[in-house]
Amino acid sequence: MRYSAEHKRETRQRILQEAARLFRERGLDDVSVADVMGAAGLTHGGFYAHFGSKEELIGETLRAVEGTSVARLRPVAEQAPPGQALPAMVASYLSPEHRARPARGCVVAALGQEAGRHSAAVRRGMAERARSLARTFLPYLPVRPDRSREEQALALAASLVGAMLFARLEEDPAAAERVLAASRRFVLEALGAAPQAAPAPKPPDAPPA
Amino acid sequence: MRYSAEHKRETRQRILQEAARLFRERGLDDVSVADVMGAAGLTHGGFYAHFGSKEELIGETLRAVEGTSVARLRPVAEQAPPGQALPAMVASYLSPEHRARPARGCVVAALGQEAGRHSAAVRRGMAERARSLARTFLPYLPVRPDRSREEQALALAASLVGAMLFARLEEDPAAAERVLAASRRFVLEALGAAPQAAPAPKPPDAPPA
DNA sequence: TGTACATCAGTGAACGCGCGTTCACTGATGTAC
DNA sequence: TGTACATCAGTGAACGCGCGTTCACTGATGTAC
């Protein structure tokens, strides 16, 4: 069955899409090459016509999901009321829907830790996805004399990833939502964009309990 | 070789300590039962005299590291200058040393995502470790009318875990330190405890660059 | 106190299994003439 | 335009390997008498 070059490209894309979904859902180690190929409607033997190894597939998968966070969050920002872009993006990332569907969500929140322990290429790919998530917030961040927007963006992205990790550890959806809500307020406060921005808080001084 | 009950308890503890170290270093799936037993100076067959399965070992390992974050962070808080407990704890958690040594560091920052995809018992165990990390900060958090300390603690802990995840994805130590520094400022700002806000207290003992 | 027996943590070979990868083969389609 | 051949994505059996787990066995020590 000889196929056109376009057919091969389409098949490769289908494999990458299924890999991206399965890896985020079950983790890098618990998804086999046969699982991915089966999900793409193929048998496992054909895998090596497209990729040199499973490790290479993982690396290519991370490249394939490039642009996902921008594609998801930019419209949210642009459709938000004036001045509400940042809260809207944070609410979108830290939403119950995102928490419930890792398979379609942020790859850093799903696989960041595992990827850090894989090959250098995979770790670098994940680092780039993390920076890319941060860059998505860049245009919407406040300009401040004491902080660069780049550093605010990195810290914000990291906080969001950690919050999603925490929320997904809670099995009770209500408990998970409390975590998400707490983090939504927390990060907006850090950015000086808290919706209910109130009078100056009391300094942190509590003695050990 | 019949041994005393105390000998068995000690052996079990040694297995758990090595498991805690290896799992954090290499991940749950890439450490075999034989690896753990070997590190404890035993052969793999004896494993089942102590644990029913590898999954049970993982669960017990999460119980065994209980109290670790309190043991590490409480002294830091108590030895900090008045009013600087929180910045000191944050600096300690988000230190280059912690970033460089996952094997001896926070289990949530090392294994949180993987654990969420394991058995219900393991996920619950990890959720408890996450809540435990949050509780460590509880006594030192500011009392505020609009936020409970519990929610501040959860959001803070989640942000710290996310920041460590991001920092560990960067291979360049300087880039990693930028991420850590950005997150240190970010979370303290969210808590209304930013070091360079107001009557300039010196930043928490900055760890060696 | 001394002796016989029971215990069981630990050993190391063996098990079945699923994995990543390889390979001989297929056959529809592209290409050369 | 028609025909012969080459290509190569995809198939499915097979490979070696490491894994979690099992098991018959060991032998130092605890226990019973």
Task: State yes or no: pLDDT of A106 exceeds 60.
Answer: yes
What's the pLDDT at A198?
Answer: 37
Judge: A123–B156 Cβ closer than 8 Å, yes or no.
no
What's the pLDDT at B207?
Answer: 40
Task: State yes or no: pLDDT of A207 exceeds 50.
Answer: no
Q: Does B6 touch chain A (CB under 8 A)?
A: no
Task: State yes or no: pLDDT of B196 exceeds 60.
Answer: no
The predicted-structure confidence for A50-94, as pLDDT tens digits, reads as follows 999 999 999 999 999 999 999 999 999 999 999 999 999 999 999
- Distance of alpha carbon B1 from alpha carbon B20, whole angstroms: 27
Tokens 């990827």 sit on residue: A115
What's the pLDDT at B6?
Answer: 81
Nearest nucleotide to B56 by CA–C1' distance?
D20
A159 closest CB neighbour out of B74, B139, B159 = B159
- Which residue from B minimizes the CA distance to A206? B140
Q: Does A100 touch chain B (CB under 8 A)?
A: no
Measured between beta carbons, the chain B residues lying within 8 angstroms of A112 are 113, 165-166, 169
Q: In whole numbers, what is the pLDDT of chain B averaged over residues?
A: 92
Task: State yes or no: pLDDT of A205 exceeds 70.
Answer: no
Cα dist. B6→B3, B20, B61, B62 in Å? 8, 21, 19, 22
What's the pLDDT at B193?
Answer: 61
What's the pLDDT at B7?
Answer: 86
Q: Does A200 touch chain B (CB under 8 A)?
A: yes
Task: State yes or no: pLDDT of B149 exceeds 50.
Answer: yes
Measured between beta carbons, the chain A residues lying within 8 angstroms of B156 are 186
Angle, helices B107-116 vs A107-116, to 10°: value is 120
How far in angstroms lies nucleotide C12's C1' from the CA of residue B48? 14
Asked whether residue B151's C-beta has any atom of DNA/RNA strand D within 7 A, the reply is no
**Residue among A159, A185, A202 with most chain B CBs within 10 A, to mutate:** A159
Three-class SS of chain B: CCCCHHHHHHHHHHHHHHHHHHHHHHCCCCCCHHHHHHHCCCCHHHHHHCCCCHHHHHHHHHHHCCCHHHHHHHHHHHHCCCCCHHHHHHHHHCCHHHHHCHHHCCHHHHHHHHHHCCCHHHHHHHHHHHHHHHHHHHHHCCCCCCCCHHHHHHHHHHHHHHHHHHHHHCCCHHHHHHHHHHHHHHHHHHCCCCCCCCCCCCCCCCCCC
Measured between beta carbons, the chain A residues lying within 8 angstroms of B197 are none
Determine the average pLDDT of the residues in B125-150. 97
B190 closest CB neighbour out of A30, A190, A203 = A190
pLDDT band for position A34 (cuts 50, 70, 90):
very high
Task: State yes or no: pLDDT of B98 exceeds 70.
Answer: yes
- Which residue from B minimizes the CA distance to A193? B190
The predicted-structure confidence for A137-196, as pLDDT tens digits, reads as follows 999 999 999 999 999 999 999 999 999 999 999 999 999 999 999 999 999 999 986 544
The predicted-structure confidence for B158-190, as pLDDT tens digits, reads as follows 999 999 999 999 999 999 999 999 999 999 999
Q: Please, which residues 30-49 of chain B have a Cβ atom closer than 8 Å to chain A?
A: 30
The predicted-structure confidence for A174-184, as pLDDT tens digits, reads as follows 999 999 999 99
List the single protein residue with the shortest CA to C1' distance from C19. A32
- Distance of alpha carbon A56 from alpha carbon A33, whole angstroms: 11
Percent of chain B with pLDDT over 90: 88
Asked whether residue B53's C-beta has any atom of DNA/RNA strand D within 7 A, the reply is yes
Measured between beta carbons, the chain B residues lying within 8 angstroms of A159 are 155, 158-159, 162-163, 183, 186-187
Measured between beta carbons, the chain B residues lying within 8 angstroms of A108 are 165
Count of CB atoms within 10 A of residue B33's CB? 17
Task: State yes or no: pLDDT of A118 exceeds 70.
Answer: yes
> pTM for this structure?
0.92
Q: In whole numbers, what is the pLDDT of chain A averaged over residues?
A: 92
Chain C footprint bases within 7 A of protein beta carbons: 6-14, 18-24, 26-30
List the single protein residue with the shortest CA to C1' distance from D7. A2
As given in the structure block, the two tokens for residue A177 are 């939502």
Q: Residue B152: what residue type? A: Q
pLDDT band for position A4 (cuts 50, 70, 90):
confident
What's the pLDDT at B5?
Answer: 73
What does strand C contact on the protein, if contact means CB under 7 A? Answer: A 1-4, 31-35, 44-45, 47-48, 53-55; B 1-3, 7-8, 11, 37, 42-46, 49-50
List the single protein residue with the shortest CA to C1' distance from D13. A45
Lowest model confidence (mean pLDDT) among A3-12, B66-75, B88-97? A3-12
Judge: A158–B154 Cβ closer than 8 Å, yes or no.
no
Task: State yes or no: pLDDT of B100 exceeds 60.
Answer: yes
Determine the average pLDDT of the residues in A22-32. 98
